[in-house]
Amino acid sequence: MKSTQEEQDAIRICKLGKSFGDYDAIKDVNISVPKGAFLVLVGPSGCGKSTLLRLLAGLESPTEGEIALDGRVVSSGASGIAVEPGARKAGLVFQSYALWPHMTVAGNISWPLKVAKWPKQVRDSRVDEVLSLLGIGNLADRFPAEISGGQQQRVAIARTIAPKPSILLFDEPLSNLDAKLRVEMRSELMRIHRATGATSVYVTHDQVEAMTMASHVIVLNNGKVEQSASPYELLENPRTTFVASFIGTPPANILPADRIGDSLVFDDTPLAPASFARGRDKVQLLYRAQDVAIGAVEGRPQLAGTFMEAAPIDASSMVSVLVGNIRVTAMSQGYFKAVPGDVLTLSLASRPGGVFSAHGERID
């Protein structure tokens, strides 16, 4: 008998693994996604996010573990269950759009409904409905080669949502668009998500997209889940140094520190009391860029470093300084001017924003 929680989950993944020969692309992944969530899978290239999406879609079969969609097991490495992609009630939007070039826009959207044997009148009504939802009704009679990349992406999304899937899967759908159009399409995808009521799973390497769009975020690294949390929780309470240094604009600074006497020391500078290490000889300390000031501030730990570059962000500048062999980022009001190679003083916050073990796990 299913638990109440299982009934509320649109996606449930247990002990999932996927190997290609000797390479483990996915390792012991356990995920529960509530119905109606907008889940974003984020991580660096090669972390396993696209493989996980393909496992959900049924384009790959797991080596071990199982996947359940809307309470129904659709893949199992142990029992050999492998429900066909078309029978999973999940729609996949590819990075490449994958439109049929010989069909019109309306024909592309109608085709999966025709395959599913929808009556023509119902099919035509649904095509009109999704054309309107995506704002592309005027493109119905055009062919893919006659419309822009952004319009092709809308057609691909319309074709995916036309059969009314309960789960929408997006494989880096905006990566082929220019920066301005990406921002516009992010808002569109969120609107479509709300309008359809479907559970969405979205793959990206762009953590700005992840933090903007998601209700839930899973950070993957080397095939494993580093952390699963809301965007706010990831920023405020990263569980590992990987998450802390990957999430955020700019990401947090991670400084290695040794316990010397009563202090935790980096670059010959005491940064925090030794008690923060909880008995460890080596730790890593988190300092967010907004908590690092340029110039000497009385009562705060100070580091000297070499100016590398400054990048404007709105009315501030993201300033990068090399301290030893560690790149430290600070935020400065206005446009920061310096010559690469100049020696700058950085003042850190009086206490770190987090303390991690030498292996990267949070201990504070």
- Residue 105's nearest CA partner among 146, 77, 70 is 146
The whole-model pTM stands at 0.88
- Cα 263 to Cα 266: distance, rounded to the nearest angstrom: 10
Q: Look at residue 364 in the predicted model and tell me its pLDDT.
A: 87
Query: What pLDDT is stored for residue 129 in this prediction?
Result: 93
Residue 97 clears pLDDT 80, i.e. is over it: no
Q: Which residues contact 174 (CB under 8 A, 6 or more apart)?
A: 153, 181, 182, 185, 186, 189, 204, 209
Q: Provide the pLDDT confidence category of residue 143 given band limits of 50, 70 and 90.
A: very high
- Count CB-CB contacts under 10 A for residue 51: 19
Over range 129-154, report the average pLDDT.
92
Task: Kindly tell me if the per-residue pLDDT of 3 is higher than 60.
Answer: no
Give the pLDDT confidence score for residue 1 in this predicted structure. 45
Q: What are phi and psi of 87, to 5 degrees?
A: -105, 10
At 68, the pLDDT band (50, 70, 90 cuts) reads very high
Tens of pLDDT along 45-63?
999 999 999 999 999 999 9
Mean of the pLDDT values across residues 226-232? 94
Task: Pick the closest to residue 220 from 30, 14, 1, 23 (CA basis).
Answer: 30
- What is the per-residue pLDDT across 254-284, written as a single tens digit (0 to 9) for each? 999 999 999 999 999 999 999 999 999 999 9
**Measured between alpha carbons, how far is 10 from 37 in angstroms, rounded to an integer?**
9
Query: β-pairing, 38-42 with 199-204?
Result: parallel
> Could you please report the per-residue DSSP string of 83-150?
--GGGTTEEEE-TT----TTS-HHHHHHHHHHHTT--HHHHHHHHHHHHHHTT-GGGTT--GGGS-HH
Q: How far is CA 337 from the centre of its chain?
A: 33
Give tens-digit pLDDT for 164-204. Answer: 999 999 998 888 778 888 888 888 889 889 988 999 999 99
Min mean pLDDT across 51-60, 93-102, 196-205, 215-224 is at 93-102
Task: State yes or no: cis peptide before 250, omega within 30 of 0.
Answer: yes
**Tokens in use for 17?**
């693994």
pLDDT at 175: 81
Least confident stretch, 177-186, 200-209, 313-322: 177-186
Say which DSSP state 241 is in: H
Q: Indicate if the pLDDT at residue 2 is higher than 60.
A: no
User: What is the band of 4 on the pLDDT scale with cuts at 50, 70, 90?
Assistant: low
> Is-contact 347 302, C-beta < 8 A?
yes
Asked if the 250-357 domain carries CATH number 2.40.50.140, the reply is yes
Reading the block at residue 87, the tokens are 């029978």
Alpha-carbon Rg of the chain, whole angstroms?
Answer: 24
Do the Cβ atoms of 130 and 163 come closer than 8 Å?
no
CATH number for the domain whose boundaries are 4-239: 3.40.50.300
What does each C-alpha distance from 54 to 48, 69, 152, 163, 295 come to in angstroms? 10, 14, 22, 19, 50
Domain boundaries, the chain: 4-239, 250-357
The whole-number average pLDDT for the span 340-351 is 95
Is 207 a residue whose pLDDT tops 90?
A: no
Percent of the chain with pLDDT over 90: 75
* Res 254: pLDDT: 97
Per the rule left: phi > 0, alpha: psi between -120 and 50, beta: everything else, 70 is: left
Which residues in the chain belong to E strands, given as ranges?
A: 9-20, 23-34, 38-42, 64-69, 72-76, 90-93, 167-171, 199-204, 216-221, 224-229, 253-260, 263-266, 269-273, 282-287, 293-294, 302-313, 316-323, 326-333, 343-347, 354-357
pLDDT value at 93 more than 70: yes
Chain position carrying tokens 């920066």: 179
Cα–Cα dist 74/264, whole Å: 51
Please tell me the predicted confidence (pLDDT) of residue 5.
54
